[in-house]
Structure 1
Protein backbone atom coordinates (compact mmCIF):
# COMPACT_ATOMS: atom_id res chain seq x y z
CA UNK A 1 0.00 0.00 0.00
CA UNK A 2 2.79 2.44 0.96
CA UNK A 3 4.58 1.62 -2.31
CA UNK A 4 1.40 2.35 -4.30
CA UNK A 5 0.92 5.67 -2.55
CA UNK A 6 4.52 6.59 -3.24
CA UNK A 7 4.11 5.89 -6.96
CA UNK A 8 0.90 7.91 -7.04
CA UNK A 9 2.67 10.79 -5.28
CA UNK A 10 5.50 10.70 -7.77
CA UNK A 11 3.04 10.80 -10.67
CA UNK A 12 1.32 13.83 -9.16
CA UNK A 13 4.63 15.58 -8.63
CA UNK A 14 5.74 14.88 -12.20
CA UNK A 15 2.38 16.01 -13.55
CA UNK A 16 2.58 19.17 -11.49
CA UNK A 17 6.09 19.84 -12.73
CA UNK A 18 4.89 19.44 -16.32
CA UNK A 19 2.02 21.86 -15.70
CA UNK A 20 4.34 24.36 -14.08
CA UNK A 21 6.81 23.95 -16.93
CA UNK A 22 4.01 24.53 -19.52
CA UNK A 23 2.79 27.58 -17.62
CA UNK A 24 6.29 28.98 -17.46
CA UNK A 25 6.69 28.44 -21.22
CA UNK A 26 3.52 30.30 -22.29
CA UNK A 27 4.30 32.63 -25.16
CA UNK A 28 2.31 35.26 -26.98
CA UNK A 29 1.14 34.25 -30.49
CA UNK A 30 2.68 36.14 -33.38
CA UNK A 31 1.17 37.63 -36.54
CA UNK A 32 3.17 38.28 -39.72
CA UNK A 33 2.24 39.75 -43.09
CA UNK A 34 2.50 37.29 -45.98
CA UNK A 35 1.03 38.72 -49.17
CA UNK A 36 -1.22 41.34 -50.78
CA UNK A 37 -3.15 40.57 -53.94
CA UNK A 38 -5.61 42.54 -56.06
CA UNK A 39 -8.86 40.60 -56.15
CA UNK A 40 -10.57 43.03 -58.55
CA UNK A 41 -9.72 46.42 -59.99
CA UNK A 42 -11.82 48.64 -62.27
CA UNK A 43 -11.90 52.28 -63.28
CA UNK A 44 -14.23 52.81 -60.32
CA UNK A 45 -12.46 51.02 -57.50
CA UNK A 46 -10.36 48.14 -56.20
CA UNK A 47 -10.65 45.25 -53.74
CA UNK A 48 -7.40 44.23 -52.03
CA UNK A 49 -6.77 40.99 -50.13
CA UNK A 50 -4.16 41.04 -47.34
CA UNK A 51 -2.96 37.64 -46.04
CA UNK A 52 -1.51 37.31 -42.54
CA UNK A 53 -0.05 34.24 -40.85
CA UNK A 54 -0.93 33.62 -37.20
CA UNK A 55 1.54 31.41 -35.30
CA UNK A 56 0.71 29.72 -31.99
CA UNK A 57 3.99 28.39 -30.42
CA UNK A 58 2.30 27.03 -27.29
CA UNK A 59 1.51 23.42 -26.33
CA UNK A 60 -2.17 24.31 -26.16
CA UNK A 61 -4.67 25.92 -28.49
CA UNK A 62 -5.50 29.63 -28.39
CA UNK A 63 -8.32 31.68 -29.87
CA UNK A 64 -8.46 35.09 -31.50
CA UNK A 65 -11.63 36.84 -30.45
CA UNK A 66 -11.42 39.57 -33.09
CA UNK A 67 -9.13 41.63 -35.29
CA UNK A 68 -9.32 45.26 -36.32
CA UNK A 69 -7.64 47.11 -39.16
CA UNK A 70 -6.96 50.66 -40.28
CA UNK A 71 -6.14 51.54 -43.88
CA UNK A 72 -4.02 54.63 -44.63
CA UNK A 73 -3.54 56.57 -47.87
CA UNK A 74 -0.61 58.97 -48.05
CA UNK A 75 -0.15 58.35 -44.29
CA UNK A 76 -3.69 59.55 -43.52
CA UNK A 77 -6.35 57.25 -42.07
CA UNK A 78 -9.04 56.43 -44.66
CA UNK A 79 -10.88 53.21 -43.66
CA UNK A 80 -11.28 51.32 -40.39
CA UNK A 81 -12.88 47.94 -39.81
CA UNK A 82 -13.52 45.27 -37.17
CA UNK A 83 -13.91 41.52 -37.72
CA UNK A 84 -15.51 39.72 -34.77
CA UNK A 85 -15.59 36.15 -36.10
CA UNK A 86 -13.67 33.94 -33.59
CA UNK A 87 -10.57 32.16 -34.84
CA UNK A 88 -9.11 29.02 -33.20
CA UNK A 89 -5.43 28.11 -33.62
CA UNK A 90 -4.35 24.60 -32.62
CA UNK A 91 -1.30 23.94 -30.48
CA UNK A 92 2.06 24.59 -32.14
CA UNK A 93 0.47 25.46 -35.48
CA UNK A 94 -0.13 28.33 -37.88
CA UNK A 95 -3.25 29.61 -39.56
CA UNK A 96 -3.95 32.23 -42.21
CA UNK A 97 -6.34 35.14 -41.87
CA UNK A 98 -7.36 37.38 -44.74
CA UNK A 99 -8.29 41.04 -44.48
CA UNK A 100 -10.24 42.40 -47.51
CA UNK A 101 -10.20 46.16 -48.17
CA UNK A 102 -12.39 47.80 -50.84
CA UNK A 103 -11.72 51.32 -52.13
CA UNK A 104 -14.01 53.52 -54.22
CA UNK A 105 -11.77 55.74 -56.35
CA UNK A 106 -14.28 58.62 -56.47
CA UNK A 107 -14.23 58.72 -52.64
CA UNK A 108 -10.44 58.58 -52.69
CA UNK A 109 -10.30 61.52 -55.14
CA UNK A 110 -12.65 63.57 -52.96
CA UNK A 111 -10.29 63.17 -50.01
CA UNK A 112 -6.97 63.15 -51.87
CA UNK A 113 -7.35 65.29 -54.99
CA UNK A 114 -3.66 64.96 -55.89
CA UNK A 115 -4.13 61.20 -56.44
CA UNK A 116 -6.10 61.92 -59.64
CA UNK A 117 -2.84 62.96 -61.32
CA UNK A 118 -0.90 59.90 -60.14
CA UNK A 119 -0.49 56.44 -61.65
CA UNK A 120 -0.53 54.82 -58.19
CA UNK A 121 -1.16 55.60 -54.54
CA UNK A 122 0.80 54.77 -51.40
CA UNK A 123 -1.02 52.80 -48.73
CA UNK A 124 -0.40 51.26 -45.32
CA UNK A 125 -2.49 48.70 -43.43
CA UNK A 126 -2.32 48.32 -39.65
CA UNK A 127 -3.94 45.19 -38.23
CA UNK A 128 -4.35 44.23 -34.58
CA UNK A 129 -5.37 40.67 -33.60
CA UNK A 130 -6.77 40.14 -30.10
CA UNK A 131 -5.96 36.71 -28.57
CA UNK A 132 -7.34 34.96 -25.51
CA UNK A 133 -4.27 33.20 -24.02
CA UNK A 134 -4.52 31.05 -20.85
CA UNK A 135 -2.79 32.64 -17.85
CA UNK A 136 -1.76 35.70 -19.91
CA UNK A 137 -5.37 36.70 -20.66
CA UNK A 138 -6.25 38.96 -23.63
CA UNK A 139 -3.29 40.00 -25.75
CA UNK A 140 -3.38 42.40 -28.73
CA UNK A 141 -0.76 41.71 -31.39
CA UNK A 142 -0.23 44.49 -33.98
CA UNK A 143 1.22 44.13 -37.49
CA UNK A 144 1.67 46.68 -40.28
CA UNK A 145 2.44 46.54 -44.00
CA UNK A 146 2.67 49.15 -46.75
CA UNK A 147 3.07 49.45 -50.50
CA UNK A 148 1.55 50.95 -53.64
CA UNK A 149 -1.45 50.08 -55.82
CA UNK A 150 -2.13 51.22 -59.42
CA UNK A 151 -4.94 53.60 -60.31
CA UNK A 152 -6.35 52.72 -63.76
CA UNK A 153 -7.72 55.63 -65.78
CA UNK A 154 -10.31 55.61 -68.55
CA UNK A 155 -8.80 56.15 -72.04
CA UNK A 156 -9.53 59.45 -73.74
CA UNK A 157 -11.32 59.54 -77.09
CA UNK A 158 -10.98 62.56 -79.37
CA UNK A 159 -11.84 63.44 -82.95
CA UNK A 160 -9.06 63.11 -85.46
CA UNK A 161 -9.51 64.28 -89.03
CA UNK A 162 -12.09 64.27 -91.81
CA UNK A 163 -10.37 63.58 -95.10
CA UNK A 164 -12.45 63.91 -98.28
CA UNK A 165 -11.14 61.29 -100.71
CA UNK A 166 -13.66 61.91 -103.50
CA UNK A 167 -16.70 64.14 -103.89
CA UNK A 168 -19.43 64.59 -106.49
CA UNK A 169 -23.08 65.57 -106.71
CA UNK A 170 -24.01 61.98 -105.85
CA UNK A 171 -22.07 61.93 -102.60
CA UNK A 172 -18.55 61.59 -101.22
CA UNK A 173 -15.97 59.16 -99.95
CA UNK A 174 -14.68 60.33 -96.60
CA UNK A 175 -12.15 58.92 -94.15
CA UNK A 176 -12.85 59.75 -90.51
CA UNK A 177 -10.24 59.18 -87.81
CA UNK A 178 -10.52 58.99 -84.02
CA UNK A 179 -7.72 59.23 -81.51
CA UNK A 180 -7.46 56.93 -78.47
CA UNK A 181 -5.10 58.17 -75.77
CA UNK A 182 -4.02 55.70 -73.08
CA UNK A 183 -3.11 57.67 -69.92
CA UNK A 184 -1.98 54.53 -68.06
CA UNK A 185 1.57 53.17 -67.79
CA UNK A 186 0.25 49.72 -68.83
CA UNK A 187 -1.22 48.65 -72.18
CA UNK A 188 -4.96 48.50 -72.82
CA UNK A 189 -7.05 46.90 -75.56
CA UNK A 190 -10.30 48.23 -77.02
CA UNK A 191 -12.89 45.90 -78.52
CA UNK A 192 -16.50 46.13 -79.74
CA UNK A 193 -16.18 49.87 -80.24
CA UNK A 194 -19.53 51.23 -81.41
CA UNK A 195 -19.69 54.69 -83.03
CA UNK A 196 -22.47 57.05 -84.00
CA UNK A 197 -21.31 60.13 -85.90
CA UNK A 198 -23.66 62.97 -86.73
CA UNK A 199 -22.54 65.92 -88.87
CA UNK A 200 -24.70 69.05 -89.17
CA UNK A 201 -27.60 67.09 -87.71
CA UNK A 202 -27.36 64.16 -90.18
CA UNK A 203 -26.13 60.67 -89.37
CA UNK A 204 -22.91 59.91 -91.20
CA UNK A 205 -21.80 56.79 -89.37
CA UNK A 206 -23.36 54.07 -87.24
CA UNK A 207 -21.08 51.06 -86.97
CA UNK A 208 -19.22 48.67 -84.68
CA UNK A 209 -15.50 48.21 -85.10
CA UNK A 210 -14.74 44.50 -85.56
CA UNK A 211 -11.05 44.57 -84.74
CA UNK A 212 -9.40 44.87 -81.33
CA UNK A 213 -7.12 47.87 -80.90
CA UNK A 214 -4.13 47.61 -78.54
CA UNK A 215 -2.70 50.85 -77.19
CA UNK A 216 0.63 50.70 -75.35
CA UNK A 217 1.13 52.49 -72.06
CA UNK A 218 1.15 56.30 -72.35
CA UNK A 219 0.68 56.00 -76.13
CA UNK A 220 -1.91 57.18 -78.65
CA UNK A 221 -3.55 55.14 -81.39
CA UNK A 222 -5.45 56.50 -84.38
CA UNK A 223 -8.44 54.59 -85.75
CA UNK A 224 -9.35 55.35 -89.36
CA UNK A 225 -12.77 54.49 -90.78
CA UNK A 226 -13.65 54.93 -94.49
CA UNK A 227 -17.23 56.09 -95.14
CA UNK A 228 -19.22 56.20 -98.38
CA UNK A 229 -21.88 58.91 -98.08
CA UNK A 230 -24.79 59.60 -100.38
CA UNK A 231 -25.96 63.12 -101.13
CA UNK A 232 -29.03 62.60 -98.92
CA UNK A 233 -26.84 61.52 -96.01
CA UNK A 234 -24.59 64.55 -96.34
CA UNK A 235 -27.39 67.04 -96.82
CA UNK A 236 -26.22 70.65 -96.95
CA UNK A 237 -22.70 69.61 -95.96
CA UNK A 238 -22.17 68.24 -99.47
CA UNK A 239 -22.84 71.57 -101.17
CA UNK A 240 -20.97 73.43 -98.44
CA UNK A 241 -17.84 71.36 -99.08
CA UNK A 242 -18.18 71.71 -102.87
CA UNK A 243 -18.45 75.50 -102.46
CA UNK A 244 -15.28 75.50 -100.41
CA UNK A 245 -16.90 76.00 -97.03
CA UNK A 246 -15.10 73.78 -94.57
CA UNK A 247 -16.60 74.24 -91.11
CA UNK A 248 -19.34 71.96 -89.76
CA UNK A 249 -20.65 70.64 -86.46
CA UNK A 250 -20.18 67.04 -85.34
CA UNK A 251 -21.45 64.81 -82.55
CA UNK A 252 -19.65 61.53 -81.79
CA UNK A 253 -21.24 59.05 -79.40
CA UNK A 254 -20.39 55.46 -78.62
CA UNK A 255 -19.00 52.90 -76.23
CA UNK A 256 -16.23 50.31 -76.13
CA UNK A 257 -15.09 47.34 -74.06
CA UNK A 258 -11.73 47.77 -72.35
CA UNK A 259 -9.24 45.16 -71.17
CA UNK A 260 -5.93 45.97 -69.53
CA UNK A 261 -2.60 44.27 -68.92
CA UNK A 262 -3.01 44.69 -65.17
CA UNK A 263 -3.45 42.05 -62.46
CA UNK A 264 -7.02 41.92 -61.20
CA UNK A 265 -8.49 43.92 -64.09
CA UNK A 266 -11.56 42.14 -65.39
CA UNK A 267 -11.75 42.22 -69.20
CA UNK A 268 -14.70 43.72 -71.01
CA UNK A 269 -15.30 46.75 -68.83
CA UNK A 270 -17.48 49.08 -70.88
CA UNK A 271 -17.02 52.82 -71.02
CA UNK A 272 -19.12 55.37 -72.95
CA UNK A 273 -17.98 58.52 -74.75
CA UNK A 274 -19.82 61.55 -76.11
CA UNK A 275 -17.97 64.25 -78.01
CA UNK A 276 -19.29 67.27 -79.87
CA UNK A 277 -17.73 70.31 -81.43
CA UNK A 278 -16.88 72.13 -84.63
CA UNK A 279 -14.44 70.83 -87.23
CA UNK A 280 -12.73 72.75 -90.02
CA UNK A 281 -11.37 71.07 -93.12
CA UNK A 282 -7.91 72.15 -94.17
Structure 2
Protein backbone atom coordinates (compact mmCIF):
# COMPACT_ATOMS: atom_id res chain seq x y z
CA UNK A 1 0.00 0.00 0.00
CA UNK A 2 2.82 2.41 0.63
CA UNK A 3 4.04 2.57 -2.98
CA UNK A 4 0.50 3.37 -4.10
CA UNK A 5 0.25 6.26 -1.61
CA UNK A 6 3.63 7.58 -2.75
CA UNK A 7 2.52 7.64 -6.37
CA UNK A 8 -0.63 9.52 -5.39
CA UNK A 9 1.47 12.14 -3.61
CA UNK A 10 3.67 12.55 -6.67
CA UNK A 11 0.61 12.98 -8.91
CA UNK A 12 -0.87 15.58 -6.55
CA UNK A 13 2.34 17.57 -6.58
CA UNK A 14 2.48 17.48 -10.42
CA UNK A 15 -1.13 18.60 -10.66
CA UNK A 16 -0.39 21.44 -8.25
CA UNK A 17 2.47 22.74 -10.42
CA UNK A 18 0.37 22.47 -13.57
CA UNK A 19 -2.33 24.61 -12.00
CA UNK A 20 0.31 27.09 -10.82
CA UNK A 21 1.68 27.42 -14.38
CA UNK A 22 -1.83 28.05 -15.74
CA UNK A 23 -2.44 30.78 -13.17
CA UNK A 24 0.94 32.36 -13.93
CA UNK A 25 0.19 32.40 -17.65
CA UNK A 26 -3.25 33.92 -17.05
CA UNK A 27 -1.80 36.64 -14.80
CA UNK A 28 0.94 37.33 -17.37
CA UNK A 29 -1.59 37.89 -20.21
CA UNK A 30 -3.79 40.03 -17.95
CA UNK A 31 -0.83 42.25 -17.09
CA UNK A 32 0.00 42.69 -20.79
CA UNK A 33 -3.53 43.27 -22.08
CA UNK A 34 -4.74 45.58 -19.30
CA UNK A 35 -2.83 48.73 -20.44
CA UNK A 36 -3.85 48.10 -24.05
CA UNK A 37 -7.52 47.71 -23.12
CA UNK A 38 -7.46 50.70 -20.79
CA UNK A 39 -5.62 52.83 -23.36
CA UNK A 40 -8.02 51.86 -26.13
CA UNK A 41 -11.04 52.56 -23.95
CA UNK A 42 -9.53 55.88 -22.90
CA UNK A 43 -9.06 56.86 -26.55
CA UNK A 44 -12.63 55.87 -27.38
CA UNK A 45 -14.00 57.77 -24.38
CA UNK A 46 -11.80 60.76 -25.24
CA UNK A 47 -13.01 60.83 -28.83
CA UNK A 48 -16.63 60.59 -27.70
CA UNK A 49 -16.28 63.34 -25.11
CA UNK A 50 -14.19 65.72 -27.27
CA UNK A 51 -15.41 67.33 -30.49
CA UNK A 52 -13.18 66.98 -33.56
CA UNK A 53 -11.28 70.22 -34.36
CA UNK A 54 -11.96 72.01 -37.65
CA UNK A 55 -9.23 72.60 -40.28
CA UNK A 56 -9.68 75.22 -43.04
CA UNK A 57 -7.17 75.96 -45.81
CA UNK A 58 -6.53 79.72 -45.90
CA UNK A 59 -4.00 80.10 -48.69
CA UNK A 60 -0.41 79.73 -49.86
CA UNK A 61 2.54 82.12 -50.10
CA UNK A 62 6.06 81.73 -51.49
CA UNK A 63 9.14 82.31 -49.37
CA UNK A 64 12.89 82.06 -50.06
CA UNK A 65 12.40 82.10 -53.86
CA UNK A 66 15.38 81.83 -56.22
CA UNK A 67 16.05 80.38 -59.67
CA UNK A 68 16.98 77.07 -58.05
CA UNK A 69 14.58 76.66 -55.11
CA UNK A 70 11.23 77.76 -53.71
CA UNK A 71 9.52 77.27 -50.36
CA UNK A 72 5.73 77.43 -50.54
CA UNK A 73 4.06 77.87 -47.14
CA UNK A 74 0.52 76.49 -46.89
CA UNK A 75 -1.59 78.13 -44.17
CA UNK A 76 -4.40 76.45 -42.25
CA UNK A 77 -6.82 77.81 -39.68
CA UNK A 78 -7.33 75.26 -36.92
CA UNK A 79 -10.34 75.71 -34.64
CA UNK A 80 -10.68 73.95 -31.29
CA UNK A 81 -14.37 73.89 -30.20
CA UNK A 82 -13.58 72.23 -26.86
CA UNK A 83 -13.18 73.84 -23.41
CA UNK A 84 -9.72 72.29 -23.01
CA UNK A 85 -6.32 72.68 -24.68
CA UNK A 86 -5.38 70.21 -27.45
CA UNK A 87 -1.91 69.50 -28.80
CA UNK A 88 -1.04 69.63 -32.50
CA UNK A 89 1.46 66.80 -33.06
CA UNK A 90 2.28 66.80 -36.77
CA UNK A 91 1.09 67.40 -40.33
CA UNK A 92 1.24 64.55 -42.85
CA UNK A 93 1.24 65.78 -46.46
CA UNK A 94 1.20 64.47 -50.03
CA UNK A 95 1.94 67.10 -52.70
CA UNK A 96 1.09 66.54 -56.36
CA UNK A 97 2.21 68.90 -59.13
CA UNK A 98 0.29 68.92 -62.43
CA UNK A 99 -1.59 65.82 -61.17
CA UNK A 100 1.68 63.88 -60.73
CA UNK A 101 3.18 62.68 -57.44
CA UNK A 102 6.00 64.96 -56.33
CA UNK A 103 6.79 64.86 -52.60
CA UNK A 104 5.30 63.51 -49.36
CA UNK A 105 6.33 63.57 -45.73
CA UNK A 106 5.47 64.45 -42.13
CA UNK A 107 6.21 67.80 -40.51
CA UNK A 108 6.51 67.50 -36.74
CA UNK A 109 4.78 70.14 -34.64
CA UNK A 110 4.49 70.79 -30.92
CA UNK A 111 1.79 73.42 -30.64
CA UNK A 112 -0.80 73.84 -27.93
CA UNK A 113 -4.16 74.70 -29.46
CA UNK A 114 -5.96 76.98 -27.05
CA UNK A 115 -9.38 76.06 -25.71
CA UNK A 116 -12.42 77.39 -27.60
CA UNK A 117 -10.20 79.31 -30.02
CA UNK A 118 -8.51 79.35 -33.42
CA UNK A 119 -4.87 79.49 -34.48
CA UNK A 120 -3.00 79.66 -37.78
CA UNK A 121 -0.80 76.73 -38.70
CA UNK A 122 1.86 76.82 -41.44
CA UNK A 123 3.29 73.96 -43.51
CA UNK A 124 6.57 74.67 -45.36
CA UNK A 125 7.47 72.37 -48.28
CA UNK A 126 10.81 73.43 -49.85
CA UNK A 127 11.71 71.95 -53.23
CA UNK A 128 14.25 72.21 -56.04
CA UNK A 129 12.99 73.51 -59.38
CA UNK A 130 15.02 71.08 -61.49
CA UNK A 131 13.65 68.17 -59.46
CA UNK A 132 10.14 69.53 -59.99
CA UNK A 133 10.64 69.73 -63.78
CA UNK A 134 12.11 66.21 -63.89
CA UNK A 135 9.39 64.66 -61.72
CA UNK A 136 6.37 66.33 -63.31
CA UNK A 137 7.43 66.99 -66.89
CA UNK A 138 6.60 70.69 -66.57
CA UNK A 139 8.14 73.03 -69.13
CA UNK A 140 11.16 75.12 -68.10
CA UNK A 141 9.36 78.09 -69.65
CA UNK A 142 6.17 77.60 -67.62
CA UNK A 143 5.38 80.38 -65.16
CA UNK A 144 2.80 78.39 -63.16
CA UNK A 145 1.98 74.80 -62.22
CA UNK A 146 -1.07 73.34 -60.48
CA UNK A 147 -0.78 71.77 -57.05
CA UNK A 148 -2.93 69.31 -55.10
CA UNK A 149 -2.02 69.04 -51.41
CA UNK A 150 -3.71 66.49 -49.15
CA UNK A 151 -3.09 64.76 -45.84
CA UNK A 152 -4.12 65.04 -42.20
CA UNK A 153 -3.24 67.01 -39.08
CA UNK A 154 -2.76 65.12 -35.81
CA UNK A 155 -4.63 67.04 -33.11
CA UNK A 156 -5.11 65.32 -29.76
CA UNK A 157 -6.65 61.89 -30.45
CA UNK A 158 -7.83 62.94 -33.94
CA UNK A 159 -6.33 62.81 -37.45
CA UNK A 160 -8.19 65.66 -39.18
CA UNK A 161 -8.04 65.38 -43.01
CA UNK A 162 -7.50 68.34 -45.36
CA UNK A 163 -7.08 69.07 -49.06
CA UNK A 164 -5.99 72.19 -50.93
CA UNK A 165 -5.71 72.95 -54.65
CA UNK A 166 -4.45 75.94 -56.60
CA UNK A 167 -1.68 77.33 -58.78
CA UNK A 168 1.95 77.70 -57.83
CA UNK A 169 4.23 80.26 -59.49
CA UNK A 170 7.67 79.08 -60.48
CA UNK A 171 10.53 81.46 -61.38
CA UNK A 172 11.21 82.38 -64.99
CA UNK A 173 14.61 82.24 -66.63
CA UNK A 174 15.94 85.63 -67.75
CA UNK A 175 14.54 86.41 -71.19
CA UNK A 176 17.02 87.64 -73.81
CA UNK A 177 15.81 89.16 -77.09
CA UNK A 178 17.38 90.83 -80.10
CA UNK A 179 15.27 94.00 -80.17
CA UNK A 180 16.67 95.87 -83.17
CA UNK A 181 19.64 96.61 -85.41
CA UNK A 182 20.84 100.22 -85.35
CA UNK A 183 22.44 101.10 -88.72
CA UNK A 184 22.14 104.85 -88.42
CA UNK A 185 25.96 105.25 -88.50
CA UNK A 186 26.66 102.94 -91.43
CA UNK A 187 28.40 104.48 -94.46
CA UNK A 188 28.68 103.36 -98.10
CA UNK A 189 32.35 104.06 -98.65
CA UNK A 190 34.09 102.22 -95.79
CA UNK A 191 33.83 99.68 -93.08
CA UNK A 192 31.20 100.92 -90.67
CA UNK A 193 29.95 100.08 -87.21
CA UNK A 194 26.35 99.56 -86.29
CA UNK A 195 24.77 98.24 -83.09
CA UNK A 196 22.85 95.18 -82.12
CA UNK A 197 20.49 96.11 -79.27
CA UNK A 198 19.72 93.26 -76.87
CA UNK A 199 17.07 93.28 -74.15
CA UNK A 200 17.45 91.27 -70.94
CA UNK A 201 14.27 90.90 -68.89
CA UNK A 202 13.83 89.60 -65.34
CA UNK A 203 10.14 89.00 -64.66
CA UNK A 204 10.76 87.59 -61.18
CA UNK A 205 10.27 89.22 -57.78
CA UNK A 206 13.97 88.85 -56.93
CA UNK A 207 17.20 90.11 -58.57
CA UNK A 208 19.35 87.87 -60.77
CA UNK A 209 23.13 87.99 -61.07
CA UNK A 210 24.41 87.00 -64.52
CA UNK A 211 28.05 85.92 -64.55
CA UNK A 212 28.45 86.05 -68.33
CA UNK A 213 26.64 86.18 -71.68
CA UNK A 214 28.06 84.32 -74.67
CA UNK A 215 26.40 85.15 -78.01
CA UNK A 216 26.42 84.62 -81.76
CA UNK A 217 24.31 86.73 -84.14
CA UNK A 218 23.78 86.21 -87.87
CA UNK A 219 21.98 88.47 -90.33
CA UNK A 220 20.76 87.22 -93.69
CA UNK A 221 22.70 83.97 -93.13
CA UNK A 222 26.03 85.69 -92.32
CA UNK A 223 27.55 85.91 -88.86
CA UNK A 224 28.13 89.54 -87.86
CA UNK A 225 28.71 89.34 -84.13
CA UNK A 226 30.07 86.83 -81.67
CA UNK A 227 31.77 86.97 -78.32
CA UNK A 228 31.26 87.04 -74.58
CA UNK A 229 30.20 89.78 -72.17
CA UNK A 230 31.61 89.53 -68.66
CA UNK A 231 30.44 90.76 -66.23
CA UNK A 232 26.79 91.40 -67.02
CA UNK A 233 24.90 94.03 -64.98
CA UNK A 234 22.69 92.67 -62.19
CA UNK A 235 19.07 92.31 -63.30
CA UNK A 236 16.85 93.94 -60.69
CA UNK A 237 13.52 92.38 -59.89
CA UNK A 238 10.77 92.99 -62.48
CA UNK A 239 13.15 94.96 -64.70
CA UNK A 240 14.55 95.20 -68.23
CA UNK A 241 18.10 96.08 -69.30
CA UNK A 242 19.43 96.99 -72.74
CA UNK A 243 22.85 95.90 -73.99
CA UNK A 244 24.58 97.20 -77.14
CA UNK A 245 26.86 94.91 -79.17
CA UNK A 246 29.01 96.29 -82.01
CA UNK A 247 27.98 95.30 -85.53
CA UNK A 248 30.84 95.68 -87.97
CA UNK A 249 30.01 95.41 -91.66
CA UNK A 250 32.14 95.68 -94.80
CA UNK A 251 30.68 95.94 -98.32
CA UNK A 252 32.64 92.81 -99.35
CA UNK A 253 30.72 90.48 -97.05
CA UNK A 254 29.25 87.68 -99.15
CA UNK A 255 25.53 87.99 -99.73
CA UNK A 256 25.46 91.44 -98.24
CA UNK A 257 24.47 94.71 -99.96
CA UNK A 258 24.68 97.99 -98.12
CA UNK A 259 21.71 99.31 -100.03
CA UNK A 260 19.61 96.40 -98.78
CA UNK A 261 20.60 97.10 -95.19
CA UNK A 262 19.82 100.80 -95.40
CA UNK A 263 16.48 100.31 -97.11
CA UNK A 264 15.12 97.18 -95.41
CA UNK A 265 12.58 97.59 -92.61
CA UNK A 266 13.67 94.29 -91.08
CA UNK A 267 16.28 91.57 -91.60
CA UNK A 268 16.23 87.81 -91.04
CA UNK A 269 18.39 86.83 -88.07
CA UNK A 270 19.62 83.93 -85.94
CA UNK A 271 20.57 84.54 -82.30
CA UNK A 272 22.04 81.89 -79.98
CA UNK A 273 24.32 81.52 -76.99
CA UNK A 274 24.41 80.77 -73.27
CA UNK A 275 23.75 82.59 -70.02
CA UNK A 276 25.73 81.74 -66.90
CA UNK A 277 23.64 82.61 -63.86
CA UNK A 278 24.88 82.84 -60.28
CA UNK A 279 22.84 80.56 -58.00
CA UNK A 280 23.20 80.99 -54.21
CA UNK A 281 24.52 77.76 -52.75
CA UNK A 282 25.04 76.16 -56.18
CA UNK A 283 27.79 78.36 -57.73
CA UNK A 284 26.29 78.90 -61.20
CA UNK A 285 23.99 77.33 -63.72
CA UNK A 286 24.17 77.46 -67.52
CA UNK A 287 21.08 78.18 -69.63
CA UNK A 288 21.16 77.93 -73.42
CA UNK A 289 19.04 80.00 -75.78
CA UNK A 290 18.34 80.12 -79.49
CA UNK A 291 15.89 82.14 -81.55
CA UNK A 292 15.34 83.26 -85.12
CA UNK A 293 13.00 85.53 -87.01
CA UNK A 294 13.06 89.06 -88.33
CA UNK A 295 14.55 91.98 -86.45
CA UNK A 296 13.59 95.64 -87.03
CA UNK A 297 16.22 97.92 -88.60
CA UNK A 298 16.63 101.38 -87.11
CA UNK A 299 18.09 103.99 -89.47
TM-score range, shorter chain: 0.5 to 0.7
Extract unaligned runs of 5+ from structure 1.
1-21, 133-137, 258-269
Q: Find the aligned partners of 2:160 and 2:69 in 1 and give their Cα distance.
A: 30
Q: Deviations over 1:227-282 (max 9, x none)?
A: 5x9xxxx7xxx7xx2434468xx99777689xxxxxxxxxxxx98777799xxxx9
Partner of 1:139: 158
Paired residues of 2:68 and 2:129 also in contact (CA < 8 A): yes
Kindly indicate whether residue 73 of structure 2 is the aligned counterpart of residue 53 of structure 1.
Answer: no
Q: Find the aligned partners of 1:127 and 1:251 in 2 and give their Cα distance.
A: 46
Greater share of residues in helix: 2
Partner of 1:152: 171
Which has the higher mean CA deviation after the structures are superposed, 80-89 or 156-165? Answer: 156-165
Q: Find the aligned partners of 1:62 and 1:100 in 2 and give their Cα distance.
A: 22
Which one has the largest radius of gyration? 2
Q: Deviations over 1:114-139 (max 9, x none)?
A: 4446431110111311122xxxxx21
* Correspondent of 1:35 among 41, 53, 59: 59
- Aligned to 1:34, what secondary structure does the other structure show? strand
Residues 190 and 172 (structure 1), Cα distance of their counterparts in 2 relative to 1, 3 Å cut: farther
Q: Deviations over 1:148-170 (max 9, x none)?
A: 0123321343556474624777x
1:226-241 equivalences in 2 (<5 Å): 227=246, 241=250
How many residue pairs were aligned?
Answer: 223
Residues 91 and 195 (structure 1), Cα distance of their counterparts in 2 relative to 1, 3 Å cut: closer
**Aligned-pair distance for 1:196?**
7.2
Q: Find the aligned partners of 1:208 and 1:165 in 2 and give their Cα distance.
A: 28
Partner of 2:42: none
Kindly indicate whether residue 186 of structure 2 is the aligned counterpart of residue 165 of structure 1.
Answer: yes
Paired residues of 2:61 and 2:73 also in contact (CA < 8 A): yes
Residues 38 and 28 (structure 1), Cα distance of their counterparts in 2 relative to 1, 3 Å cut: same
Q: Find the aligned partners of 1:143 and 1:204 in 2 and give their Cα distance.
A: 55
**Aligned-pair distance for 1:100?**
0.5
- Aligned to 1:111, what secondary structure does the other structure show? helix
TM-score, length-scaled by structure 2 = 0.54
Paired residues of 1:255 and 1:272 also in contact (CA < 8 A): yes
1:209-224 equivalences in 2 (<5 Å): 223=242
Q: Find the aligned partners of 2:232 and 2:255 in 1 and give their Cα distance.
A: 27
- Aligned to 1:106, what secondary structure does the other structure show? helix
Coordinate RMSD, CA, aligned: 4.8
Partner of 1:174: 194
- Aligned to 1:243, what secondary structure does the other structure show? coil
Q: Find the aligned partners of 1:271 and 1:174 in 2 and give their Cα distance.
A: 32
Partner of 1:26: 50
Q: Find the aligned partners of 1:205 and 1:167 in 2 and give their Cα distance.
A: 29
Partner of 1:243: 252
Q: Find the aligned partners of 2:78 and 2:244 in 1 and give their Cα distance.
A: 59
Kindly indicate whether residue 123 of structure 2 is the aligned counterpart of residue 102 of structure 1.
Answer: no
Extract unaligned runs of 5+ from structure 2.
1-45, 218-222, 257-270, 279-283, 292-296
Paired residues of 1:71 and 1:80 also in contact (CA < 8 A): yes
Greater share of residues in strand: 1
TM-score, length-scaled by structure 1 = 0.57
Q: Find the aligned partners of 2:236 and 2:285 in 1 and give their Cα distance.
A: 15
**Aligned-pair distance for 1:222?**
9.6
- Aligned to 2:133, what secondary structure does the other structure show? helix
Residues 153 and 166 (structure 1), Cα distance of their counterparts in 2 relative to 1, 3 Å cut: same
Q: Find the aligned partners of 1:45 and 1:114 in 2 and give their Cα distance.
A: 15
